[in-house]
Amino acid sequence: MFEIAKVREVLQNALRVPDAEHDLDGRISGESALLSFAVDDTGHLIKDSVALSTCGWAVSRTITPGPGSDRWLDGFDDDQKRLLEYIFQIGDGKVTVEAGSAATARRGKGLGLVAGTAARVALDVATGGISALPAVAGLALTPVIGAIGSKVVEKVGDSLAKDATETISKAVKEKISRQEDDDSTSVQAASGDSEEKPPSELSAKVLGVTDLAAITRWVAETMGVEEALQPNSIRVKSRQVKVKDSGSTDEFLNSFFAEDLQRVADAVTTGDVGEVLSSYLRDNIGIDTKRRIDVRTNPGRVLQAVAPRSMPIGRWPEQADRPLALSQQFAINEICKNLKDPAARGLYAVNGPPGTGKTTMLRDLIAAVVVERALRLATLKDPRDAFSKAALEWRTEDSKRTRKFHPLIPELTGFEMVVASANNGAVENITLEVPATKAIHRESFPDADYWSGPATLLADTECWGAIAARLGNRSNRSEFVDRFWRGNQPRGKRKREGDKEIPGLHEILHALEQSKADNEKYRVVPWSTAVEQFEKAVAEVERLAAQRQVIADILERTSGFDLHLQRLRQQADDHRDYIVKLQAYRGDLERHATAMARDRTRAEQEVNDARRSLDSAEARVVQAGIAVRSAERALRDYAQTRPGMLRRIWSRNALSDWEGGAQLLAAQVTAADELAARAEAWRSEQSAELTVRQRALNEAAEKERHAQEQLSRCDRDLESAVRAVGDADRAVAQREAMVQQDSQRLQDARRRWPRTVPGAEWDAAPDDREPMEQREKSSPWMDEEFAEARSRAFLAALELHRAVLTNAPKQLRWSLWAVTDVVKGEAPADLPAATVLTAWQLLFLVVPVVSTTFASLSRMFAALGREALGWVFIDEAGQAAPQSAVGALWRAQRAVVVGDPLQLEPVVTLPWSGQKRLCRQFGVDGQWAPQNASVQTMADRLNIFGTWLPEPDGLGETWVGSPLRVHRRCERLMFDISNEIAYDNMMVYGVSFKTEFTLLTRSTWLDVPAQPSGSKWNRVEGDYARKTLETIRDRIEDQMNAELAKAQLPDWSLTDADREAELERRLREAVFVVSPFRDVVRELQRALGTVLPSNWNRVGTVHTTQGKEADIVLLVLGTASDQRQSRDWAAHPPNLLNVAVTRARRRLVVIGDYENWEKHQNFQVLAERSTRVDAVKVWGVSTR
């Protein structure tokens, strides 16, 4: 064994870590081991169990060859293989172990005594040399059987080594013998296995302390870490196991995730990666931040998401008047909208500040998923149709039995729900709380029962339903099978008189199979009846949702200005304006048509005039023609009278006289021709003029016709416009009537559902604080009737699930026997992965939710591959390092990541300098370094719904996904401090304490001056803490005395022992005592020992209280005046103080130096809001 702090010292020296990165709070403490292995009850080494520490190996490589080498962290597998070969030889007795002497061991700078002995491996082997070997911190193997498992102290000495071995061996045998006497019968009966086979691969030699010491020394010296780590002690843990299980162990020395990460990495390189993990691994550059919607600045978008039609059918059976707050319901609705479809894949992140109801939200999500599967069950005519006809089977590992089961049909898979987290406390918050009777409102749902008997056996507390089970490690899984299935009582539990026998699920199914069960007791109803009741419950939810959706639609229509009515009124006005314009246009058209008529009349007159002129010209042409013909005839006739020769002889003048007459007649013909030509020309002119005038007339007539057509069209448009105005006026009237009716219906709805119909607060500006708080504390549309109906639909869905088992008990009993093999990890190792998956799917039909830590998930679901699980809920994701969730997300079809990056961050033992060096060594971007991220921050990036919160240093903003905003845990002081230092006042105060708190009257800061220098522990602070606890204890006792004065005596009043136990229980539940520093916590545990119960576990660092709460928190600050750096560490970022103050429901008592602490960021806010008190005034006497 070695101290983990020594690892950090090596890293700090090798990486030249600055002082700011040193371990200021003592978190990085505890012990680890260089090597771990198991031996059987006879002391023989189980060879398969040997594990070399990768942490120790990495330290070795950091020393030599060092971080500067290209092969700094290469070669673990080869080194481990060679080292294990030597260890096996030691275990087989083939290598000599020399006893040595203490004096020899203490010489030089090497490793001194190991477990009190100087034993070492023979020199020739020890110097045979491997260069170096690996490991990860882990495993502080604590004792489980008194001093047997305790550290074997170095001071024992060589001479006592043999005695120590014999003593341990004897004590172990006696203890195991006693346990076997008590338990062997019940264990055999419960297991149903009468024969067990011994493990194989044991070493030949029985190992003793000398051998263990020699192996330790040889490993340390071979790795070269004997000086750096000083691994000089050995720890033994003894536990009883079945012989057949003695070859296996759940103890892990190295990383819980390394093997699974390698498996997933290999799958990713081949493209075998689902949507969830693919999104999770997306680089920041690949995220479209423009799509993000800030829910704080877009309340309208939030209201749309919580419309009645968007509500899931199922709801947790909580009190009907206590629905989810707005932000919780928004998250649920968005998750269901995007992920409930069977083909949907994806991840949704929810930011859950302290006290905002993360578990409450997840309960409703569980109800929603159960109902979705019930909807598919309800389509089956027979419950046996839920299973494949072909059975799967295998032989158990001892080959004594054949397991046989019928898988679910594919339509009923994909609804598996796994809650995973980095720590047990987080997963227990859900899987131990939701089955408990106090998790539902029994008055409203007195008949709620889903296998309550087996659930009660499992949880060892009264339960209403087997909704969830804590699995994970092998012990939890075995406990689940033993209690829930087989019906065994918890070990060591004493049965009280009057206690009823509670059967396990196996016994119930067997009784149903034999027709010996009380049908009423086990709520056996025919399948058709169960389906009918479920469908009736769903129909009622849908009816109520539709009813409220009508009002939601009305609200959308009537909220603010009625745009539709505005459009209708505008349309009517537009039609009227159009009529006016048409009328004006018609006047213009009419005037134009009149003008065109005048033009046409004028053109007609001109045509007539032209036609008359043409007629006159025609007459002239005729007359001229007559004149021409007359003149020509006269000329021809005259030519007949030309004198002949005889006449010319008789009269010399006869020819000349005739010629004179002919000339006169020829001149008349010429004159007539000229006159005719002139008449023809004039006629042509008049004809052309007529053509022009006729064309002008045609044009004028066309213009007049067109004008008349325009006028007619305008008249028709006017008629249409008048009709349109009438229609628009009627539409306006109808809309106004509907608005009036809507307004009345909305008023009626507000009277009927005054708390759930959204009001004026939704019209206010997003940053108006008062209406914003009203919005956030509201539960739109979720009135009591609607809420109760949804809860009853969920309970009916559970009854339908139960009916599958009660109507097919034989098939389910034999199938579930097979499933229990898989759950316990006892199925054959070569069982096909598909078979293992179907077995798990059948378990989830019975128990909808199981939980596990990340550390156990890869072993529990080792056979399951990509997207094998329907839903994975990651709780307290802000505390989980990014790599821890990879295996869970790879196996998930859908993931909901819930946590808060502003509460406790992942504990990272590696200094930031080392992380940066590793990133450079392996070419990894710094955004993936654990120091910079958690599972929550990685998931938050992906959600388009969220908000921006300021970075703690004020230099930027951080996007958080879908924040829950209503705080319902702490009184105002603690809420205000948290809201200011961490959340930009995003949270809304929703606490209403109905009783006066009398254990302490107010929250205070007890001012205690710090020592100038020295340790973080201040004895005076411890004295004040003790005085405060004594006061609280006295007041609890006063309360108990007041209760005793009443007529009816409580159960705890019967004996002094019962009374003292009740006092301790109340004190335990009332108070946490916390400090930022481990040094202070250790001293507090000593200082408060006289006040606290012996088994009190409520004193710890702030980190131990994440996810927990108490009425009173005592925050003991510690530090000397010169330890400013330690105070800086505790004060910034705000995460630690945020967690510390929000653990306290009613009172916060701060104990420490006010002036030293109030100067530091965030503690300044605490100081300003706290009441500073001198403890002397509080107690009346000084304890200094």
Residue 926 lies in a domain: no
pLDDT at 177 over 50: no
Final residue belonging to a domain, choices 203, 221, 255: 255
Among 18, 53, 15, residue whose Cα is nearest residue 33:
53
In the predicted structure, residue 108 carries a pLDDT above the cut 50 = no
Q: Is the dihedral of CA 338, 344, 349, 354 positive or negative?
A: positive
Question: Is 1179 strand, coil or helix?
Answer: helix
Of 434-438, 766-770, 923-927, the least confident: 923-927
Neighbours of 1143 (CB within 10 A): 24
Same domain, 953 and 1001: no
Q: What average pLDDT does the segment 304-329 reach?
A: 97
pLDDT at 1178: 62
Q: Are residues 740 and 787 in the same domain?
A: no
CB-neighbour burial class of residue 1085 (10 A; exposed 0-12, middle 13-18, buried 19+): middle
Pick from 126-140, 170-184, 598-612, 813-827: least confident: 126-140
pLDDT at residue 255, as a whole number: 81
Instruction: Give domain status of residue 244, yes or no.
Output: no
For 731-759, the pLDDT digits (tens) are: 999 988 888 888 899 999 999 999 999 99
Q: Residue 895's closest CA among 853, 938, 934, 939?
A: 939
Top pLDDT among 1036 and 200 is at 1036
Residues contacting residue 6 through CB under 8 Å, at least 6 positions apart: 228, 229, 230
Instruction: Domain of residue 712: give its range.
Output: 563-752
Which 8-state DSSP code applies to residue 1149? Answer: E
Q: Is the pLDDT at 954 greater than 60, yes or no?
A: yes
What is the structure's pLDDT at 468? Answer: 97
Choose the weakest-confidence range: 302-311, 382-391, 640-649, 701-710: 640-649
Task: Check whether 881 has a pLDDT greater than 50.
Answer: yes
CA distance 690 to 692: 5
Token code pair at residue 289: 């931040």
Neighbours of 541 (CB within 10 A): 24
Tell whether 1145 is covered by a domain.
yes
* 417 lies in the same domain as 504: yes
Q: Is residue 650 part of a domain?
A: yes
Q: What is the mean pLDDT of residues 424-442?
A: 88
Highest mean pLDDT among 481-485, 678-682, 915-919, 926-930: 481-485
Please compute, for residue 312, the number of CA atoms within 13 A of its CA located in the half-sphere on the CB side. Answer: 36
347: confidence class by pLDDT, cuts 50, 70, 90: very high
Residue 803 belongs to a domain: yes
- In this structure, are 218 and 297 located in the same domain? no
CB-CB contact of 408 with 845 (8 Å):
yes
What pLDDT, on a 0 to 100 scale, did the predictor assign at position 1025?
Answer: 94
644 falls within a domain: yes
Q: How far apart are CA 1043 and CA 262, in angstroms?
A: 60
CB contact at 8 A, 10 and 62? yes
Same-domain pairing of 740 and 823: no
Which range (13-17, 22-26, 76-80, 505-509) has the least confidence? 22-26
Residues 11-21 as b or e (16 or more Cβ within 10 Å = b): bbebbebeeeb
For residue range 222-241, list pLDDT tens digits in order.
Answer: 889 988 898 888 888 887 77
The domain spanning residue 1045 has which CATH number? 3.40.50.300
Residue type, 1014: G
Report whether pLDDT(665) > 80: yes
Selection from 1, 3, 10, 5 nearest residue 35 by Cα:
1
**Helix, strand, coil percentages for the chain (3-state, nearest 5):** 55, 10, 35
Lowest mean pLDDT among 47-61, 380-394, 532-546: 47-61
133-144 pLDDT, tens digit per residue, is: 222 222 222 222
What does the alpha-carbon distance between residue 238 and residue 1000 come to, in Å, rounded to a whole number? 45
Q: What percent of the chain has pLDDT over 90?
A: 53
Any idea which of 495-504, 656-665, 1022-1031 has the lowest mean pLDDT?
495-504
Structure tokens at 962: 């879908």
pLDDT band at 1111 (very low <50, low <70, confident <90, very high): very high
Tokens 């003790």 label which residue? 1026
pLDDT of residue 1168: 95
User: pLDDT-based confidence at 894, cuts 50/70/90?
Assistant: very high
Give the mean model confidence (pLDDT) for residues 988-1000. 91
Same domain, 177 and 216: yes
Separation CA 132–CA 86 (nearest Å): 14
pLDDT at residue 617, rounded to an integer: 85
Whole-angstrom distance between the N-terminal and C-terminal Cα of the chain? 40
- Please say which residue of 962, 982, 1015 terminates a domain: 962
Give me the pLDDT at residue 1099, please: 92
In 1039-1116 the beta strands, taken as DSSP E runs, fall at 1071-1075, 1099-1101, 1110-1116
* Side-chain-facing half-sphere of 691: CA atoms under 13 Å: 6
Residue 1028: pLDDT band (50, 70, 90) is very high
User: What pLDDT digit, counting tens, does each position of 811-843 carry?
Assistant: 999 999 999 999 999 899 899 999 999 999 999
pLDDT tens for residues 367-379?
A: 999 999 999 999 9
Cα 389 from Cα 716, distance rounded (Å): 76
Instruction: Specify the pLDDT at position 517.
Output: 61
Long-range contacts of 863-866 (CB under 8 A, 24+ apart): 863/831, 863/833, 863/836, 863/837, 864/833, 864/836, 864/837, 864/840, 864/891, 865/267, 865/272, 865/833, 865/890, 865/891, 866/267, 866/272, 866/273, 866/274, 866/890, 866/891
- Do 1020 and 1090 fall within a single domain? yes
Q: Domain check: are 676 and 567 in the same one?
A: yes
pLDDT score at 145:
24
Q: What are the helix (H) ranges across 208-357?
A: 209-223, 226-229, 258-269, 275-280, 299-305, 326-339
Note whether residue 1000 is domain-resident: yes
- Tokens 């296996």, located at residue: 248
Q: What is the pLDDT of residues 254-305, one digit of tens each?
A: 888 888 999 999 999 999 999 999 999 999 888 999 999 999 999 999 999 9
pLDDT-wise least confident of 516-520, 581-585, 625-629: 516-520
Beginning with the edge strand found earlier in the chain, give each strand of the sheet holding 417-421 in spatial order: 346-351, 892-899, 869-874, 417-421, 849-853, 468-470
pLDDT exceeds cutoff 70 at 105: no
Residue 923 maps to a domain: no
- 3-class SS of residue 425: helix
pLDDT at position 22 is 58
- Identify whether residues 29 and 82 lie together within a single domain: yes
Is residue 491 domain-shared with residue 623, that is, in the same domain? no
Identify the H or E element spanning 679. helix 654-752
User: Which residue type, as a one-letter code, is found at position 1120?
Assistant: A
Q: Of 196-205, 404-413, 785-794, 884-893, which gets the smallest average pLDDT?
A: 196-205
Dist CA 829 CA 859 (whole Å)? 12
Q: How far apart are CA 434 and CA 359, in angstroms?
A: 9
CA 35 to chain centre: 39
What number is the average pLDDT over the span 74-101?
A: 82
Categorize the per-residue pLDDT at 46 as very low, low, confident or very high, splitting at 50, 70 and 90.
confident
Decide which of 580 and 184 is more confident: 580
pLDDT grade for 728, boundaries at 50, 70 and 90: very high
Place of tokens 């408060």: 1088
Q: Are residues 619 and 716 in the same domain?
A: yes
Write down the residue that tokens 């205070």 correspond to: 1004
Nearest to 903 by CA among 341, 136, 358: 358
d(CA 112, CA 1107): 43
- Reported residue count of the chain is 1184
Give the residue from 80, 427, 475 showing the smallest Cα distance to 251.
Answer: 475
DSSP state for residue 1122 in the 8-state scheme: T
The total of structural domains in the chain comes to 4
Lowest mean pLDDT among 531-540, 606-615, 672-681, 1051-1060: 1051-1060
How far apart, in whole angstroms, are the C-alpha atoms of residue 106 and residue 100? 11
The pLDDT of residue 250 is 56
Residues 199 and 337 in one domain: no
> Could you give the CA distance from residue 705 to residue 830 in angstroms, rounded to a whole number?
99
Query: In this predicted structure, which of 99-113, 553-567, 699-713, 1145-1159 has the lowest mean pLDDT?
Result: 99-113
- Worst-scoring range by mean pLDDT, 20-24, 423-427, 1134-1138? 20-24
CA 641 to chain CA mean position, Å: 140
CATH of the domain at 588: 1.10.287.620
Mean pLDDT score of the chain, rounded to an integer?
A: 85
Please state the pTM of the whole predicted model: 0.81
Contacts of 481 (CB under 8 A, 6+ apart): 820, 823, 824
Contact indicator for 21, 912 with CB cutoff of 8 Å: yes
